[in-house]
Structure 1
Amino acid sequence: MELKDLKEGVNTLAGKKFNFAVPVRNLTTILTSYGWKRLPWRHEIETGPHKGIPLILFLSRDGRARFAVGLIEQNIPLKVKISLDEENGRYNIEMNLRAMSNIQIYKTEDRKSWLDSIRKYREVVGIDPPQFPKGAYEPVFCSWYGIHHSVNQDWCLRNAKIAKELGLTTFIIDDGWFFDERGKWGSYIKTGDWMVSKKKFPKMSKLARGLRDMDMRLLLWIAPFMVGKQSETFKRLKSCLIGEESYGVRWLSPAKKNATNYILDKMDSLYKENELDGFKIDFVDALPDGKGLLNFYEGLQKLGKNLLFEFRQNYANLFGLQVGAVYRGLDTPLDFEKNLENCILLRAFTPDVPIHTDYIYWYRDEKLENMAKHMIFSIFFVPTISMDLEKLTKEEKNVIKNWIRFHREHRDILFGDFDASIDGSYLGARKGERAIYALFKPIPLAFENLKELHILNGTEAKEIYLDIPENLKFQEVFKRDFTLQSKGKFSNPVRVERGGFVKIKEVM
């Protein structure tokens, strides 16, 4: 069946396997919630309640959706195979369900921009996001890259004090809190019992109260379905485990009531006994099957009022919106460009959710302008940091502190109408007649109907030049370098240093 044979909008079909063809004309990119591909020979994705969003877009060079196809239902496991039929000049799309089903397939050829096409799909799906808890939009510090499994109470308290000075008011204790040893990176054989190590955290509730006194909140990492073979849970709930053992780990099935009850009871105890403000929930997408996940998500919502949950990108989908969790980009240590790309995808597919960057991290002796580039992209989302703050220089702290301040001062614009190129060339946000744009490649930008504009230089170029059109009547230009120290007023053309920005303001 040609995709064009489907009517525009929603089509109700019955079956287990569906095949469509898309002509390869004026196509350059295939886009899904997992990322974009430059016309691959073959591409496969899997979606379900525990991973991904069932939408595929075929884009032209100008970023418009020539074709888009997806499921309306978000809880049905789906496997999609896309293969290039070179001889007939088309892409073959094979959509496979696990069982015969009546489904609704969405299709459009409206040729809207990729962002608008995704927005239209979301409107048709019709999932309304919940209210998000206090702190969902607050900048975050996470222990992971700073200390890994060696995390402990004293280190957390010392770093929390610095984090607060930098403007980071949510503190996440990552993996390592539930066993006494230092631990080994990539090993999860002790997961499943979720008992706080009294050696590392003799009084976690005291730490939580100390953070609360600083107007901070405390979240705890947990991989709720992961069970390591050295845990008591591995033996006690063996009948509830699914998936083959890999790296000493299996998974509790969310479809098993006693497994879900065990997880929720354990999280409830951790929350109450340690006076937590929420959880960083990990590895949901590693489940062999998302069956029964709804019960777990409904249980999360009943744990406590205003608890904050963090979901990672692969399961940060439309099905998970009901929880009211913040969504974080995939792990990309050091790579700000990939972090940027991931966050653009998240904000495009789930624009109503507080989108958190992956934890920003750099090695010692990094250039200040490169640090600023990390921060420049992060301000369009919720900035998150993970490093040993005690080892930062004064200059490094200033870069973080100043950009976090900029983020707070301009949050109403930054969380306004979102604009971005699919390849991450630029990011923009606008509210009324005020806008903020960040360039990551030296490309021309046109802007109109504005009274205030910030241009941020996140490119590799040492400096970029802006020629301000006279008809816009911009008369004041304030320039700042990457430490946000004022450099005075400048006239046309405006020079923007790498890692810095200019503020252009109309004077009536």
Structure 2
Amino acid sequence: MKHLIYSVILLTFLGCTNCGDAPQSITPMNSQMIPFMADSISVDGELKDFELKITSENLEKGLDIVKVSLTGKKAMTPPKITLKWQIPSIDIAKFWNPNLGVDKVTYYSNNVKTSATRYAPVLSYMNMNDENRMTVAVGDALNKLELGSYLKEEDANFHYYLVLFDEEYPAIKNYETEILVDRRKQNFAQTLTGVTDWWAKQENYKPAETPQEALRPMYSTWYSYHQSLDVDELLEECRESKKMGMEAIIVDDGWQTMDDKRGYAFTGDWKPDRIPNMKGFVDQVHDLDMKFLLWYSVPFIGKNAENYPRFKGKYLYYWDSQGAWVLDPRYPKVREFIIGIYEDAMADWGLDGFKLDFMAFFKPGKDTELTAEDGRDYASVYHAVDRLMTDIMARLKEKNPEILIEFRQPYIGPLMRKYGNMLRAADCPNMATINRVRTTDTRLLGGSSAIHADMLMWHPDDEVEHAALQILNIMFSVPQISVRLNEIPQEHKDMIAFWVDYWNENQEVLMKGDFTPHKPDELYPVLIAQNTEKAVIGLYGNDIIVSDGFENLQAFDIINARNKTQIVILNNQDLGTYQLQVLDCMGELVYEKSIQLKKGAVAIDVPASGLVKLTK
């Protein structure tokens, strides 16, 4: 038995490249001048009859690839192994990872557990200026792993670790993955874009194309109706939302059962019990020139569902609090059942897309046997999920190449982009700041996928300026509205119509322009999207905007997503004369004039939740 705490010398023997004549340890920032070497990694674990090989390759100054391979003489259960390395805590002030936490400063512990349907394996550290200091990403976004780091008080170093095969894993003969190590001094968002592009180029990770319809504001029934759906009321909501610039309705949970207790004990037969004439409902929505998406909880069969006995012995585990079983996708019959449900629904009812929910529940249970036998054609649950979702997307696209598929956090990683084209922030009802953070975090790894906000809701008696903050905080993602439009005050309707119309007019800049979020440690108080002609700046906490990079633009807008009524533009040079328009949160013109953006500070009065438009 080969027990190892691998030394740098042994790793060099196993094939380290770029190692030189003697082991070296990296130091960040000076480390930009030297490659990240395989011999800076140690390994804990018992290899048993496997051989471990770690090599490294320098791609350019500050950018390296570490290749990890595990090889056995025959197929065996792989051992748990932990790769470790460390860097000094020099000029590091904050961190980023794709987890749902909003604390991006307490870097004592920074870790993420990932799989095909849960988060993405990447960690990033940066300095006070949001410049990347160390970003680490793992190529294996399919299998379960843990990537983390912690600050050790005794040496003030960040100690990184990558844990492979922590849970029981099917027998294998070979395993390979890569680790991307980026220490280039650039904005952290630019670094994460590079990580996203790196994943997208890998075999079997190619993202799905994003139809233009995925980039349209939508109405969602979840917060406004929950499971108490009524067709006539929803059609009225569609008529109102269409007037306000929304182009689709997402009919959420509740259509498939008369049970309204918020659990899933009766889910899994997927008959439109609450909406018997689903085809007629869809047709009426189409007559309004709107798309129709329908919600499904992919893994669940409720204990009271007619289909429950049909799949006995083909479940991963039971979710007691919700009264539902989780299907095992390693059985071809299970996969075919799930795919057939969506194919039939699209064919019979004319659906334009699906909201596929609870993907993260596809994971082994404590008693799951990880073998490909007894009717299972996969040993790994995660590999079977990959097959299931790949087949779903392929077969639905055969019938509709523009099919819309939505996933939400935490299943928003690089593999999920292959199966769907809409990635949504996790639930945060009436929490504008959290919605801003989650949409921004999702967008940082979202690439060309359509990034959607969690559905927006607020109390109908709230002041219109306060209600507007729900929309203004998610302007750099696709809006989903979920208030009862026929029950809110007229000024709320005017506010929604104005901002949705503004979003539609500026979609190219907001969703396809260069996106720069500022200060993740402060929950992104400034967000900027810009192309060659225009910039849109979301101001959420700061009073001052620095106009660097705007000198060649024809226009820039400032969204005042605050209750404060003045902003200051700080110019490092004379930008010349602009036409200024200031609007309130309902789109009413407050005042307009010509203004000189001279070098120095220029103050502009603007209403709470208002808009400043500057045009050369």
Structure 2 residue matching 1:145: 3-state secondary structure: helix
What's the secondary structure of 1:195's corresponding residue?
Answer: coil
Question: How far is 1:498 from its partner?
Answer: 1.4
Distance 1:191 1:418 in 2: 40
Is 2:233 the counterpart of 1:155?
yes
State the alpha-carbon separation in 1 of the partners of residues 608 and 330 from structure 2: 52
Q: CA deviation at 1:136?
A: 0.7
Query: In structure 2, how many angstroms separate the alpha carbons of the residues matched to 1:294 and 1:353?
Result: 18
The match for 2:460 among 364, 379, 382 is 364
SS of residue paired to 1:208: helix
Equivalences for 1:172-191 in 2 at 5 Å? Answer: 172-181=250-259, 183-185=260-262, 187-191=263-267
2:532 corresponds to which residue?
Answer: 432
Q: Secondary structure at the match of 2:307?
A: helix
Aligned partner letter, 1:9: D
Structure 2 CA distance for partners of 1:5 and 1:468, relative to 1, 3 Å:
closer
- Residue 457 of structure 1: aligned partner: 560
Which residue does 2:307 correspond to in 1? 233
Helix, strand or coil at the partner of 1:299: helix
- The equivalent residue for 1:377 is 473
Over residues 333-384 of structure 1, what are the superposed CA-to-partner deviations in whole Å (9 max), with x where a residue is unaligned?
A: 0011110011111111112111111101101211211222222233322111
2: CA distance, partners of 1:232 / 1:251 = 15
Secondary structure in structure 1 of the residue aligned to 2:430: coil
Q: Could you say what the CA RMSD is over the residues aligned between the two structures, in angstroms?
A: 2.0
Structure 1 stretch displaced more, 25-34 or 255-264: 25-34
Q: Work out whether residues 94 and 105 of structure 2, in 8 Å CA contact, stay in contact via their aligned partners in 1.
A: yes
2:255 corresponds to 1:145: no
Conservation of the 8 A alpha-carbon contact between 2:565 and 2:605: no
Q: 1:417 aligns with which of 514, 525, 528?
A: 514
Quote the Cα distance in structure 2 between the aligned partners of 1:92 and 1:414: 38
User: Aligned with 1:414: secondary structure?
Assistant: helix
Pair 1:429–1:63, CA change in 2 (3 A)? same
Tell me if structure 1 keeps the 8 A contact 2:362–2:385.
no
Of the structure 1 ranges 152-161 and 341-350, higher mean CA displacement relative to structure 2 is found in 152-161
Measured after TM superposition, the shift of residue 41 of structure 1 is 3.4
**Conservation of the 8 A alpha-carbon contact between 2:244 and 2:496:** yes
- Gap regions ≥5 residues in structure 2: 1-7, 9-24, 27-35, 39-57, 71-80, 365-381, 596-601
Per-residue deviation at 1:24?
2.1
Q: Between 167-176 and 317-326, report the one with greater CA deviation.
A: 317-326
Contact 2:537 2:558 in 1 (8 A): yes
- Kindly indicate whether the alpha-carbon contact (under 8 Å) linking 1:188 and 1:249 is maintained by their aligned counterparts in 2: yes
Instruction: Using the TM superposition, give the Cα deviation of residue 145 of structure 1 relative to its aligned residue in structure 2, in angstroms.
Output: 0.5
Q: Do 1:441 and 1:460's aligned partners in 2 also have CA atoms closer than 8 Å?
A: no
Give the distance between the partners of 1:48 and 1:449, measured in 2 at CA. Answer: 43
Shift of 1:283: 0.6
Query: Does structure 1 residue 114 correspond to structure 2 residue 188?
Result: yes
SS in 2 for 1:227: strand
Change (3 A) 1:488 1:136: same
Distance 2:515 2:66 in 1: 30
User: 1:298, 1:460 → 2: CA distance?
Assistant: 46
Counterpart CA distance in 1 for 2:183 and 2:456 is: 38
Is 2:249 the counterpart of 1:194? Answer: no
SS of the residue 2:191 aligns to: helix
- Within 2, Cα distance between the matches of 1:462 and 1:255? 58
Deviation of residue 233 (structure 1)?
Answer: 2.5
**CA distances 1:434-472 after superposition (whole Å, capped 9, x unpaired):** 111110012422222222111110124243344677821
Shift of residue 291, structure 1, vs aligned partner: 3.1
Tell me the equivalent position of 2:331: 256
- Structure 1 distance, partners of 2:492, 2:592, is 26
Offset of residue 78 of structure 1: 0.9
| 1:127-185 alpha-carbon deviations (Å, 9 max, x no partner) | 5433223411111101011111111222211211111111111101111111123x113
- Counterpart among 157, 164, 169 of residue 90 in structure 1: 157
Q: Distance in 2 between matches of 1:180 and 1:108?
A: 52
**Which residue is 1:297 aligned to?**
389
In 1, Cα distance between the equivalents of 2:535 and 2:327?
A: 47
Q: Secondary structure at the match of 1:352?
A: coil
Counterpart CA distance in 2 for 1:288 and 1:440 is 38
| Segment of structure 1 superposing worse, 259-268 or 284-293 | 284-293
d(CA) in 2 for partners of 1:475, 1:310? 41
Question: Aligned letter for 2:389?
Answer: Y
Answer yes or no: is the 8 Å Cα contact 2:68–2:177 preserved in 1.
Answer: yes
Partner residue, 2:343: 268
Higher-Rg member (1/2) = 2
**Shift in Å, 1:250:** 2.3
**Which residue is equivalent to 2:144?**
77
Equivalent position of 1:59 in the other structure: 126
Residues 440 and 460, structure 1, Cα contact 8 Å, conserved in 2: no
Q: Which runs of 5+ in 1 are unaligned?
A: none
Give identity over the alignment, percent: 22
Q: Is the 8 A contact 1:468 1:474 kept in 2?
A: no
What is the rounded CA distance, in whole Å, between the counterparts of 1:502 and 1:51 in structure 2? 39
Q: Is the 8 A contact 1:466 1:495 kept in 2?
A: no
**Offset at residue 430 of structure 1 (A):** 0.9
Aligned counterparts, 1:290-329, within 5 A: 290-301=382-393, 302-303=395-396, 304-305=399-400, 306-329=402-425
Q: Say if 2:389 is the partner of 1:279.
A: no
Q: 1:483 aligns with which of 576, 580, 586?
A: 586
**Deviation of the 1:269 alpha carbon:** 1.6
Residue 208 of structure 1: aligned partner:
282
Would you say the 8 A contact 2:121–2:146 is kept in 1? no
Pairing partner for 1:30 from 95, 98, 112: 95
Distance in 1 of aligned mates of 2:571 and 2:126: 32
Question: In the alignment, does 2:198 pair up with 1:124?
Answer: yes
CA-CA distance at 1:67 after TM superposition: 0.9
Give the one of 84, 88, 95 matched to 1:19.
84
**Conserved? CA contact 1:379–1:404, under 8 Å:** no
CA deviation after TM superposition for structure 1 residue 396, in Å: 0.4
The secondary structure found in structure 1 opposite 2:473 is helix
In structure 1, the residue matched to 2:615 is: 505
- 1:465 and 1:496 in contact (8 A); partners too: no
The residue number in structure 1 matching 2:427 is 331
Question: Partner residue of 2:135?
Answer: 68
Q: Distance in 1 between matches of 2:196 and 2:211?
A: 22
Corresponding residue pairs, total = 502
SS at match of 1:371: helix
Q: Is the 8 A contact 1:225 1:251 kept in 2?
A: yes
- Compare 216-225 and 376-385 and name the one that shifted more: 376-385
**Does the C-alpha gap of structure 1 residues 23 and 244 become closer, same or farther in structure 2, counting only changes over 3 Å?**
farther
| TM-score, normalised via structure 1 length | 0.94
Q: Which amino acid is 2:130 matched to?
A: G
Kept in 1, the 8 Å contact 2:535–2:556? The answer is: yes
Equivalent AA in structure 1 for residue 241 of structure 2: A
TM-score between both structures, scaled by the size of structure 2: 0.78
